Amino acid sequence: MTLVTRFFRFWYDFIVGDDWTVAAAVVAALVVTAFLGRHRVAAWWVLPVVVVLTLGLSLRRSLGRRGS
């Protein structure tokens, strides 16, 4: 495996990790925040809300799998 491949695999594992939905939600929140910011709307609250909701959903899914 080349150095470049290992580099990109590290970053994929670091960012995506075990749950790709969390990474996708954070990217979507960043896009929405940027869009609202461009239109001069206060968007500081979008990312924290999405992170808290996504964390809660991820924990619920994880605990649901473990309980089965």
Would you kindly state where each structural domain of the chain is located, as residue ranges? 18-67
17 within 8 A of 24, measured Cβ to Cβ? no
Q: Shortest CA distance to 19 belongs to which of 46, 54, 66?
A: 54
φ, ψ dihedrals at 43, nearest 5°: -120, 20
pLDDT at 18: 78
The pLDDT tens digits for 3-59 are 999 999 999 998 888 788 999 999 999 999 999 999 999 999 999 999 999 999 999
Residue 68 reports pLDDT greater than 60 = no
Distance CA 41, CA 61 (A): 33
pLDDT at 39: 96
